[in-house]
Structure 1
Amino acid sequence: MNASKRHQIFSRLREQNPHPTTELEYSTPFELLIAVILSAQATDVGVNKATRKLFPVANTPESILALGLEKLKSYIRTIGLYNSKAENILKTCQQLIEHHNSSVPSTREALEALPGVGRKTANVVLNTAFGQPTMAVDTHIFRVSNRTRIAPGKNVLEVENKLVRFIPTEFLLDAHHWLILHGRYVCVARKPKCGACIIEDLCEYKDKTEEA
């Protein structure tokens, strides 16, 4: 795919949704960090249901740590892998208190040093909480990037590097959200809704459908 076509694609996505953001509900960088940790192999809808009960009770490293393991589990029990996530969250809270003055760090190295925080989670926090032009490649972004040929790659890191390199600078900050939402609602896994897609004529996917 050439640079002109990529520019047109992101121009249309921006026109359709000028101010995209995550569908996870949060009000502070710490709440976002916890929500993203919980969202691994879970839906944003499911995470939001749990955090709507958790955050009014505990939304700081100290208050979540004070809950203890079993109490924390009771709030997130509906989320997949809640046992290991609860343990990681408590360890992360402890590290934030001890090493970061209870604040969420704004560097990839520091974020990835926290239990339960991998590259994708770090990228979401850096982009959404701190406005850094990072690209968190989840299953949706990986699929859209390969289908459209915006940034084809065999693994998430290859796709991430290509997206950061190929997406025009003016779009890079919001591109993460546009691609996730596009993959979640239009370029869906089983049968993409090509008939309802605003970039269908620019997309290089060979097996387009009539779905709307």
Structure 2
Amino acid sequence: MNDAKRRLIFERLRAANPTPTTELQYRSPFELLVAVILSAQATDKGVNQATARLFPIANTPQAILDLGEEGLKAQIRTIGLFNSKARHLIKTCELLVSAHGGAVPRDRQSLESLPGVGRKTANVVLNTAFGEPTMAVDTHILRVGNRTRIAPGKTPAVVEQKLLRHVPREFLKDAHHWLILHGRYVCVARTPRCPACPIADLCEFPDKHQPKEEQLSRK
């Protein structure tokens, strides 16, 4: 995979979706932070259903503290790991109120000091809420990076650093959204939809999935 091919890949992804964004529903940096924390081992659809109940009641750190841990659990109990997520969110809200004036910090160190916030969550918030050119590597991006050979690596950290190094600067801000959506809807885990893929001719995956009729013609 060379830089010219990478540029073509992102040009096509941009042409297909000029303004990509997260599928999580939010209206403020704090709502985004809450949604991303809740999204661990959960679907965006499931998170959106829970936050549609939660945010009209409590969408600030103080409002969630006023709701209390048990009240918060009642709003998010449809999401996996809701007990631990509620504990993390309460502690995060306490720290936001006491150390950051109730605002979501814009620097990585402060974000990653919040309970339940790791590097991936911090990257999502920095990118989506504040426009920073970060790369939030989840399972989809890990898969796409390796399959296509855009950024092969065994760990999210390795793939992240390779993407930051090789993705052309003009695409960096939106690159992780394109790659997540591509992995979620096209380059899916079990049977990648290669015949419908806009970058199939540029992808270096050796085992591209073919339509059944083409498979039969080759036998």
In 1, Cα distance between the equivalents of 2:190 and 2:180? 16
In 1, Cα distance between the equivalents of 2:159 and 2:69? 37
Deviations 1:34-82 (A, max 9, x none): 0000000110000000000100000000000100111100111011110
1:211 deviates by 5.0
1:106 deviates by 0.5
SS state at 1:6 partner: helix
CA contact (8 A) 1:142 1:156 kept: yes
Q: Which runs of 5+ in 1 are unaligned?
A: none
Aligned length: 212
CA contact (8 A) 1:62 1:97 kept: yes
State percent identity of aligned pairs: 69
In 2, Cα distance between the equivalents of 1:184 and 1:210? 19
| Matched residue type, 1:183 | G
2:72 matched to which residue of 1?
72
1:34 matched to which residue of 2?
34
1:154 deviates by 1.0
Deviations 1:98-145 (A, max 9, x none): 000100000110000000000000000000000000000000000000
SS state at 1:163 partner: helix
- Inter-CA distance 124–202: structure 2 relative to 1 (3 Å threshold): same
In 2, Cα distance between the equivalents of 1:104 and 1:211? 48
SS state at 1:68 partner: helix
Moved over 6 A (4+): none
In 2, Cα distance between the equivalents of 1:32 and 1:21? 12
TM-score after normalising by structure 2: 0.96
In 2, Cα distance between the equivalents of 1:198 and 1:160? 23
In 2, Cα distance between the equivalents of 1:75 and 1:144? 34
Q: Which runs of 5+ in 2 are unaligned?
A: 213-219
Larger radius of gyration: 2
CA contact (8 A) 1:38 1:79 kept: yes
1:210 deviates by 2.0
2:97 matched to which residue of 1?
97
SS state at 2:127 partner: helix
In 1, Cα distance between the equivalents of 2:79 and 2:190? 24
State the superposition RMSD in angstroms: 0.9
CA contact (8 A) 1:85 1:116 kept: yes
SS state at 1:115 partner: coil
Does 2:141 match 1:141? yes
In 2, Cα distance between the equivalents of 1:174 and 1:45? 21
In 2, Cα distance between the equivalents of 1:74 and 1:143? 35
The aligned runs of 1:1-212 (5 Å cut-off) are 1-211=1-211
